[in-house]
Amino acid sequence: MALVYAHKLPAEGDVALLQTLLPGCYAHWKGQVLNSDELHEVYEGLKLNNVNKYDYVLTGYTRDKSFLAMVVDIVRELKQQNAQLVYVCDPVMGDKWDGEGSMYVPEDLLPVYKEKVVPVADIITPNQFEAELLSGRKIHSQDEALAVMDVLHSMGPDTVVITSSDLPSPRGSDYLIVLGSQRTRHPDGSVVTERIRMDIRKVDAVFVGTGDLFAAMLLAWTHKHPNNLKVACEKTVSAMHHVLQRTIKCAQAQAGTDRSPARPSWS
């Protein structure tokens, strides 16, 4: 969980990083997962030191439903301090490794996301599988994806980005599709919805944490371009590409070009 005080540029912000998950390593891990009481204690410490006025909140992977409920309480309190605060939620629950996909968090987290977390979020970044879970609808076409994003809008968030999907790209099987939708509310009460689609070339490697990086980069570039989802996503994807390419080069330098990482058991 990250609490961000942003200045004029994304690179100039102050971040309070709450280390809510302490795993060992991949693919099998041991470690500690903070529960609601522990998160509340950490947050109370921030308040006692008058460090509780933020511009952004970013959350990602967790396995504890009481923790999620406490996140909602904290976000609501922070929004009372700053009505312009933006909550970016990466609803990490599962993925489509093969076939229909599967959850790698406890199933009782889903109703908490649907009923409590997503309604207070301003930006959400699910993958296709997570978008289907949250909306209760399947995605087999771009039109169905747009309908799912409309359902997610109706739950609360004005910005929805489906960070990856298995929809076919006209450029071929070497590409994956990113879809986004942003609602902008004007002073006269009208609402304008911007839709975007990006066809991204796949990288022949397995990475861990790309969803976390995407959400963090989208937060930064949305801060810079709050009313231009297309530009924010383009810059996010560009940064992702450069990070992944540098990661591959570093990995090859250490392990050799003939080795590739194994698929993790969770992400």
Cα gap 264→94, rounded to integer Å: 12
The confidence band for 51, taking pLDDT boundaries of 50, 70 and 90, is confident
Overall average pLDDT of the 46-70 stretch: 89
Q: What pLDDT is attached to residue 100? A: 76
- Tell which residue, 60, 57, 54, 22, has the closest CA to residue 38: 22
Residue 116 DSSP code: I
| 185-226 per-position pLDDT tens digit | 888 989 999 999 999 998 887 787 888 999 999 999 999 999
The confidence band for 26, taking pLDDT boundaries of 50, 70 and 90, is low
Cα gap 226→240, rounded to integer Å: 19
- Residue 199, both tokens: 């066809």
Q: Is the pLDDT of residue 230 over 60?
A: yes
The confidence band for 7, taking pLDDT boundaries of 50, 70 and 90, is very low
Q: Is the pLDDT of residue 71 over 70?
A: yes
Phi then psi dihedrals of residue 234, to 5 deg: -60, -45
Superfamily in which the 2-255 domain is placed by CATH: Ribokinase (3.40.1190.20)
Q: What pLDDT is attached to residue 25? A: 61
Q: Is the pLDDT of residue 240 over 60?
A: yes
Overall average pLDDT of the 241-258 stretch: 83
Cα gap 177→197, rounded to integer Å: 7
Q: What pLDDT is attached to residue 111? A: 97
Residues assigned a catalytic role = 212
Q: What pLDDT is attached to residue 10? A: 47
